[in-house]
Amino acid sequence: MPYRRLPNTDNSRLKALKSALNKGKNLTPMDLAFKQSSFQRVRSFLPKWEKAITEHKNTYDIQIKNNKEYQKKLKKAKLYISHFIQVVNMAIIRGELQTSVRNYYGMEENSSKLPPLNTEADVVEWGKKLIEGENKRKMSGHSPITNPTIAVVRVHYDHFTEAFKFQKTLQKNHARALNALAELRNEADDIILNVWNEVEETYNDLPEDLKREKAQEYGLVYVYRKNEIGRISLFKDNESRIFNF
């Protein structure tokens, strides 16, 4: 025997609520298989649920769309920061700069190892160190590093930090929309459960097959268990053989 399955996704909840609303609009209170109080709950709640789903989808779509451009700017910033440090290290190897120059940038004086640039925080940190360090060097009368210059590094760094802040804002908007949706789920489930219980109770005296058929008109969902599906298929095969004989 199939069992009733309540909605377990936000879209299936939306579908169940819309089915109940349509029935409530199209049938008189006498003909409606669930209570008017439940219909009023559906009608009052559904706009809030639709709005929450729409906002969640929109904030997610905007975040995903923006992420592609954001990743390009992140990659560029990493590249120029890395190249600037490599140029400094190569100048030290050639004897054009002293190892002490690394102190301006917050690097280890006797290490040519590139700092980690694995996360956004790493890029923010090292971009800031290089910009501040190079400005201090130039103010001390030293010749600027070139190819790339710190000005070029800063252009790409600023593009990245602006995109980084914007992406964080989009993430916060999406998280807020997700929380708003989560806060409404229990109410959605409670409304749907009450409506479905009342519908089944209305048709409780009917034979099981007819009861389910009537209930499905209200959006109720019934599913067979795996072992029952196998038996039904076998029954239909046997029935087909009998009628084809």
| pLDDT at residue 235 greater than cutoff 70 | no
**Considering the chain, what is the average pLDDT of its residues?**
92
| pLDDT at residue 244 greater than cutoff 50 | no
Please give the pLDDT value at position 242.
37
Please give the pLDDT value at position 233.
46
Tell me the H-state helices in the chain.
10-26, 36-93, 120-139, 150-202, 208-216, 226-244
Give, to the nearest 10 degrees, the angle between helix 150-202 and helix 10-26: 40
Q: What is the pLDDT of residues 154-173, one digit of tens each?
A: 999 999 999 999 999 999 99
The answer to whether 178 touches 29, Cβ cutoff 8 Å, is: no
When mean pLDDT is compared across 75-79, 130-134, 186-190, 224-228, the lowest value belongs to: 224-228
The answer to whether 218 touches 199, Cβ cutoff 8 Å, is: yes
Sign of the alpha-carbon torsion through 157, 160, 166, 172: negative
Helix (H, G, I), strand (E, B) or coil at 104: helix
Respond yes or no on whether the N-terminal peptide bond of residue 47 is cis (omega within 30° of 0).
no
Q: What is the pLDDT of residues 26-77, one digit of tens each?
A: 999 999 999 999 999 999 999 999 999 999 999 999 999 999 999 999 999 9
- Provide the whole-model pTM: 0.77
d(CA 212, CA 232): 17
Largest interatomic CA distance in the chain: 103
d(CA 134, CA 142): 9
Domain that holds residue 67: 3-244
Please give the pLDDT value at position 216.
96
Looking at the structure of the chain, the number of domains it has is: 1
Nearest alpha-carbon partner for 86 in 65, 107, 63: 107
